[in-house]
Structure 1
Amino acid sequence: MRTVGVEEELLLVDPGSGEPQALSAAVLARAARCAADDDVFEKELHSQMLEFNTHPQSGMDELGAEIVRIRGEAARHAREAGCAVAALATSPLPARPSIGMNRRYQWMAEQYGIATREQMVCGCHVHVSVESDDEGVAVVDRIRPWLPVLVALSGNSPFWQGRETGYASYRSRVWQRWPSAGPTELFGSAESYRRRVADMVDTGTILDEAMVYFEARLSARYPTVEVRVADVCLHADTAVLIATLVRGLVETAARDRQSGRGPLDHSVSLLRLANWRAARTGLTGDLLHPATMRRTRAETVVEALLEHVEGALSDSGDLERARASCARLLRHGTGAEVQREVWERTGSLREVVTACVEHTQA
């Protein structure tokens, strides 16, 4: 069974006003004094954000339990520091992002200007183990057209600087401002992948391999493929769904490689359009079908994804739960719809943040 790990980025907010608070140093200091936290928390680019990493897990029950536990610990440390944590991919309320003072972050601020200051966005990254770089690159090549469906399922950022954006995942649009972000062409081999990354670093436009922000990449730290397209999910069970589907995609791609089935050769231009449409409407409008790149009902595209990974999810015992989770999102809406419902009902973005603080620990 391939192991799975999840990185989540959480927003630190004032429990009264709902505004982002630059208190990550205080929260991390409290976490460092608690041995039970096992160094799962890390600083992020902006001081209003907190990142945590789960341990690699083989079972989705264990992964879900760990996400819930760490979210609870993050909330406790935040309360002690005078703030709260919210699984929000963007801040609904206006914010003045505060960039961390370490050398790397300051280099980014100088290099990229306003794009760095605006990157106060929270994502969910999923790591899945692979046997080798060759297998990993084969996986990266084969999962490309399916990744926009994960954007649609995880959409949790409809507001930006106090305004409704019209997008389910505006975070993904902001993320595209990095020069190395976005979908990739087919690599074909680990050698070609490594050469492309080295060429990118050699331009001096990015600092190192860790700043190659492909939608799916070989991890610079672990023997994994890292998928980086999802918003941080409002609910822990949605994060588990995204992790389940990513592992299913990785396993299916590896099996396709073994059987000699090649990747779909969609252009980067079409993949960008698929990503844009998924970010724009989430599950409430049409998506581009991963096989045909033509507009198709979201329900049909989600079903196509489940059928694509059915063998892998059946073998891991995750198929029925994944189907139930997808059906629940299609019926009740993603985090973006939860946020919009609170806003439409109350007319208050502060109430949106308050509700999301509660949902984060539900």
Structure 2
Amino acid sequence: MNTGQYIILLSIKSSGVLVCFLTAKFSDSSRRRYIAAEIDKFGKGNISTQAFTFLELGLATQNFDCECLLGSGGFGKVYKGHIRSKNMDVAVKQLDRNGFQGTKEFLVEVLLLSLLRHPNLVNLVGYCSDGDQRILVYEFMPNDSLEGHLLDLGPNQKPLDWHTRMKIAAGAARGLAYLHETAQPPVIYRDFKSSNILLDENFDPKLSDFGLAKLGPTGDSTHVSTRVMGTYGYCAPDYACTGKLTVKSDVYSFGVVLLEIVTGRRVIDSSRPSEEKNLVKWARPLILDKKSHLIADPLLQGNYPMKALHKALTVAAMCLQEDSRTRPLISEVVNALEFILKIKKHDDDHKEENAEDTSKSPPALQTIRSHVDRIASDKSNSDRERY
């Protein structure tokens, strides 16, 4: 008999919900009853998530027909479905039964997405745990993922304009800020990447896929020690080396995605020359040397305020600091991006970037900018000493 054992503690300020799972054991044969009972017991009055049967979801997806397939990956497959009883289009995520996500992780994801409510988090409609099935049912996002609009652009797709890109970045940052600073203890997303940012009909972003999410440190603890998980290229170097997870690990991943948004490049691209294969390593020196124009996505065709471009790259550079202590809080990133969103093309006088007037920048952006200027100065002094 296979058994599992775990403890979860989650408090959400906004709803006053306290969910506490004491040590629990279960067998495969009682999995479905156990999951339903635990969700009902600890989420009663606060969770509207519906338990679907496998038959209901089969009807919704035409028996999981390949024509309804939206995408697939290591996690499993996602199908478009329609729930007749709700007259609602949904995305049905059928997790790989041989994958790493077990009953514990599945239950955590159901509860997190049920209890955490924010405009920039995807809405969980329901779940299915019939037999060995683990299925999540989300609201349908008609514009798919950010990755598809940046890195997998079809021949008839228009590239995202500058304002839409910054709107997506700011919205995604707000979602992270809710996880980091509203949930207590904080929730560390641990897998922030462009494919996990879904877009609605207005291109407003919502974070999805909380399978790797981890509750953050409490009390005097500064980090959570855990097995390193995530996606190569997006993972913070300090977390990858030590297994010490903090909210600043997510901030690093956000910096990577912000670079993708600005450049239109993949974080790891083996098709490019060796010096350009790794996006962060390629972009970092160009940012410090203030060569912003060499970094911007060519598909933008120069249609962006140069001042806004430079400031966005400044934010990315601070998020990507190798020392996690020097990375900004995600709330500071939100403030900076909201300021950047207000910069219009006609505000750009095309002066030298190093002559920019930062007096009107918000404190968060001024702090980030001063850090980058210091780093650039240290680099310059180091170069002079070398020669």
TM-score for the superposition, normalised by structure 1? 0.28
- Greater percentage in helix: 1
TM-score for the superposition, normalised by structure 2? 0.26
Higher RCO by CA contacts (8 Å cutoff, separation 6 or greater): 1
